[in-house]
Structure 1
């Protein structure tokens, strides 16, 4: 599908193509018909011009048999065009994702011949949508990464029913420092963490929307929120790095058990607990671990397996709950070591990959190893937060490609692997110390599109229109930021911030275009401004949109603050504005002030510009 502003140019090409083929078809027909003389270009000039025009007029009054044959031929040409376009559309979907979809408007042939198949599918979509595909993934879990930026409980009240309508069956809640730890662990909670009553409300809201909750507790890697603190610094595997806990420290397991106890106390009745343990970058590096490895004749893999099995066993034996763990550390562990550790008796595995190339990175031998060891296997995609650590807007096409690859994996292995379900991760920070990235409200359309694809294996016009209707979008859903021309207007929980994020993206792109204008790069550089040596004419030509962009940017900054306040607390609002809006706004203000000052300059010094004369001026 294509953005509206691209229609006129493409339609012109399509009309030209249809006109050419139709005329060509008539000319071919006339080589065997009564008007053969007109096939000669020379016949349209000179004395015979009138005869040619008469012949052309006769085309409109030829016999019914000729008209019927002509019509049949034209229909045949159009059918071939449609067939060819549908084939190309299929190829595009195999190799590329759509750029967007126009809503509430049935596309005609001239609005994109590549939509022919979509139109046919849309016509029968009511029947098709009611059919649940066989061997569907049972669980479609939405990951809510809450660290350092907790959405308001009131927002969840509006969001959870929508997630259920998208086809979600549960939530993976990664609280981290947003969990209300108490007693000896109260220092693990941020000052703006949820209260115990908030957790109870969240669980009740999820239950009302038929969403199960799987809490996540980090127990090995990514324990920054614990190990950053002075009180727990001694548990670090590497003294200067607060990412990984030391598995051989006698205080480590009691701490982890206490964290699990408190989380489980506030989540009664849950069937799963995710114990994290991904990206354990520093393993077996401290002196204590080195001595432990030497004494037990262990390798680092054995040390890893021993720790995660101990944690999983504690969860399973004390709470009758099934532990789940990220898989990345298991990829490099030999099958025999995993079998000897009996880790598969207490753990289910969650295989994650958020970028392209899943088939390459997760080869068949890895799947064979996992299916041999584990009785339950989950997969994890990403609907947001998997691009750049400072990204503030989600490119849906990238996320859709990730989910398409995962569904290919599912189709390939579903007969041999006990897939439990899929978790659509939505990272809000890359880790505890990372900046905010791709906040939840602006990624709701991405989540909707990808849940739709998982459920129906479709991302065609009909499926996307359905998503647009559910999100109450009025005009257009953009899937590829490369083609974003205007902000999409919708009406779902957090849609105001979705619109603001798009406006900000468009403005930043326009500002970047302005700053790369040759008039600016060649005559209005920082060096020129610093030395009051700017060409007024080039400054006016290059920065003619500066005042307007500065005004629009200030307006978007105010809109962002209002939109964010509907979802997040004041700390998250302030952090996001400081990271994503203020730096550019400040730069524009300084540039505007500098140019306003330089416009008053009427005389300029002789070079060199660093001379005493210049400085005095």
Structure 2
């Protein structure tokens, strides 16, 4: 039995509108120029109309770009328009094959009458076309990000997880160790007390190799260095004394520290092809006195300082290890093309373009892609299958993550003939940064990862595709894509599925508790004021909190279930942190409310107003 809900394909419509609008604008200018009486658009330098206007105005300075650059830009635009036109050919096929269901019920296999036969018929009719689309739309590298900071999964769990990732179609791992890496010597204090041992790192690499998963380590070298700069021993390297996020690029000790970190990471990862050197969100740049003096002396801007530092780091990796460094792209978005070209950093780096929400085409417009295509020989894209909602979120909404991946695939389709795409990294953040609380844990997001990896490979997320995901995950109940429609937990059997089930139960229980607390009987008769003064109508208290005993019982049981489920994946410290963040506060609140409601209902006689409050006693 299939449960569906169709959502409008906004992205496809948006793409069609953009393409149609561009064509109309080009036709208007080509035929007649701007409409009379309206404010005209600026003519692009180098176009035929611009040259004519320049001749009429005797203003040769208007031609600011070389003919070679104009020719290249025109060719680039033509390729983009060709891609848009080509994408429209498959629009109808995608509409048929790529619905947006809320989920699918798997306890009874869909029959032909339930709709699977219709999908199979479409597949048979369009086999040749669909195979062609999938092949040309395939990304070679499909890398899964493991954010390990502050909460390392047990090695025994990873032994079960990695084969599953391979079965989903993953080709590699981006391992962000942070304080979970076993640094030694002068760097020993960079490691958390519950960090992996050297033998654990060797095991991780071996397990990944057995499952054909290429390993790419990630080490931060500029921003997000909190795990280093929080320590007294390295505090002098902060760009801003009170902020341990960004390292000072002009401090003489900075580069030697970063080189030592890279040396130890690479010593433990022999034979790798890529190293990710981070460098995203460098919010504090060129702010210390030393950096400001350096900028003044070198006549540098802050962008030049950024490029100068990352170039030295990338050159060290490439020259000493013959390994290709990769960097996050966000700082490059605001740096002019000429500055990047002059730095020659593109000869050393590959770029990883990240965006975890929707609106990718708006935020990452064509100028950015043109800049990257002219500078970098390798471009990666980075989506998110979890951990990109809120810093305190504990459960993943798959539909949000799927929307992000659908937009990324549209970007890929649009630019694949002009951008040297290497592959995609599906990020899965465990904390927003070193100091942040735990957000969405990996096991509860495995269904999201499976759905999105399948979509990247097949460009499908219809009920047939979801049924195959359910089979791989050994699910026998409803696979939910949107949290707002969740009525009961999904039942599956994959590594960490107990954490997945606990997270769903917690979401449902918190929603039920919130509904109870916003009941008019509670808001009107069991407020803090009523409880403080022990003054309420027993009947309203009873009616408003009739589900309280059951919810408290369920929450108490959930705490025990959570401890057991989490202990199969994480160490005792992670288990305690997750319980303290997500269950204990609500459990304590329910217990306190239960005690207060009992007291309110036991009262038989009440005083006249005004009530004798603590505030009145003080008066």
Q: Smaller-chain TM-score range?
A: 0.7 to 0.9
Offset at 1:285? 0.3
CA contact (8 A) 2:162 2:207 kept: yes
Offset at 1:244? 0.2
Distance 1:3 1:280 in 2: 45
SS at match of 2:453: helix
Match of 2:159 in 1: 157
| Residues 238 and 609 of structure 1, relative CA distance in 2, 3 Å threshold | same
Q: Is 1:302 equivalent to 2:304 in the alignment?
A: yes
Match of 2:401 in 1: 399
Match of 1:494 in 2: 496
Distance 1:146 1:365 in 2: 35
Match of 1:229 in 2: 231
Counterpart pick for 1:103 among 87, 101, 106? 106
Offset at 1:121? 4.2
Aligned counterparts, 1:226-265, within 5 A: 226-265=228-267
Match of 2:280 in 1: 278
Distance 1:201 1:438 in 2: 25
Deviation readout 1:341-396 (Å, 9 max, x if unpaired): 00001000000000000000000010000010000000000000000000000000
Offset at 1:134? 2.3
SS at match of 1:430: coil
Distance 1:552 1:411 in 2: 48
Match of 2:432 in 1: 430
| Residues 519 and 203 of structure 1, relative CA distance in 2, 3 Å threshold | same
Deviation readout 1:179-201 (Å, 9 max, x if unpaired): 00000000000000000000000
Distance 2:573 2:500 in 1: 19
| Residues 88 and 530 of structure 1, relative CA distance in 2, 3 Å threshold | farther
Offset at 1:118? 3.9
SS at match of 1:194: coil
| Residues 612 and 255 of structure 1, relative CA distance in 2, 3 Å threshold | closer
Counterpart pick for 2:290 among 270, 288, 312? 288
| Residues 607 and 415 of structure 1, relative CA distance in 2, 3 Å threshold | same
Match of 1:541 in 2: 543
Deviation readout 1:78-101 (Å, 9 max, x if unpaired): xxxxxxxxx99949967xx32111
Distance 2:412 2:304 in 1: 30
Match of 1:444 in 2: 446
Counterpart pick for 1:137 among 123, 133, 139? 139
Offset at 1:129? 9.2
Offset at 1:608? 1.4
Distance 1:218 1:559 in 2: 36
Aligned counterparts, 1:504-523, within 5 A: 504-523=506-525
Distance 1:124 1:526 in 2: 65
Offset at 1:327? 0.1
Distance 2:209 2:544 in 1: 57
SS at match of 2:563: helix
Distance 2:471 2:532 in 1: 53
| Residues 568 and 611 of structure 1, relative CA distance in 2, 3 Å threshold | closer
SS at match of 1:599: helix
CA contact (8 A) 1:3 1:478 kept: no
CA contact (8 A) 1:385 1:429 kept: yes
Match of 1:364 in 2: 366
SS at match of 1:191: coil
Size of the aligned set, in residue pairs, is 533
Choose 1 or 2 for highest CA Rg. Answer: 1
Match of 2:75 in 1: none
SS at match of 1:485: coil
| Residues 498 and 129 of structure 1, relative CA distance in 2, 3 Å threshold | farther
Distance 2:612 2:378 in 1: 71
Offset at 1:452? 0.3
Aligned counterparts, 1:55-204, within 5 A: 90=95, 97-103=100-106, 105=108, 107=110, 118=119, 120-121=121-122, 133-204=135-206
CA contact (8 A) 2:533 2:611 kept: yes
| Residues 395 and 477 of structure 1, relative CA distance in 2, 3 Å threshold | same
Offset at 1:598? 1.8
| Residues 121 and 575 of structure 1, relative CA distance in 2, 3 Å threshold | farther
Normalised by the size of structure 2, how large is the TM-score? Answer: 0.82
Q: Is 1:481 equivalent to 2:483 in the alignment?
A: yes
Distance 2:251 2:467 in 1: 55
Distance 2:409 2:93 in 1: 22
Deviation readout 1:381-431 (Å, 9 max, x if unpaired): 000000000000000000000000000000000011100000000000000
Deviation readout 1:288-335 (Å, 9 max, x if unpaired): 000000000000000000000000000000000000000000000000
Counterpart pick for 1:465 among 459, 464, 467? 467
Q: Is 1:528 equivalent to 2:533 in the alignment?
A: no
| Residues 225 and 612 of structure 1, relative CA distance in 2, 3 Å threshold | closer
SS at match of 1:328: coil
| Residues 100 and 375 of structure 1, relative CA distance in 2, 3 Å threshold | same
Distance 2:122 2:240 in 1: 57
Offset at 1:106? 5.1
| Residues 408 and 117 of structure 1, relative CA distance in 2, 3 Å threshold | farther
| Residues 354 and 255 of structure 1, relative CA distance in 2, 3 Å threshold | same
Distance 1:148 1:317 in 2: 32
Structure 2 segments unaligned to the other structure (5+ residues): 6-91
Offset at 1:203? 0.1
Distance 2:126 2:97 in 1: 21
CA contact (8 A) 1:104 1:465 kept: no
| Residues 128 and 108 of structure 1, relative CA distance in 2, 3 Å threshold | farther
SS at match of 2:596: helix
Distance 2:211 2:361 in 1: 35
Distance 2:206 2:614 in 1: 74
| Residues 398 and 348 of structure 1, relative CA distance in 2, 3 Å threshold | same
Q: Is 1:605 equivalent to 2:607 in the alignment?
A: yes
| Residues 91 and 614 of structure 1, relative CA distance in 2, 3 Å threshold | farther
Offset at 1:610? 3.1
Structure 1 segments unaligned to the other structure (5+ residues): 7-86
SS at match of 2:602: coil
Match of 2:579 in 1: 577
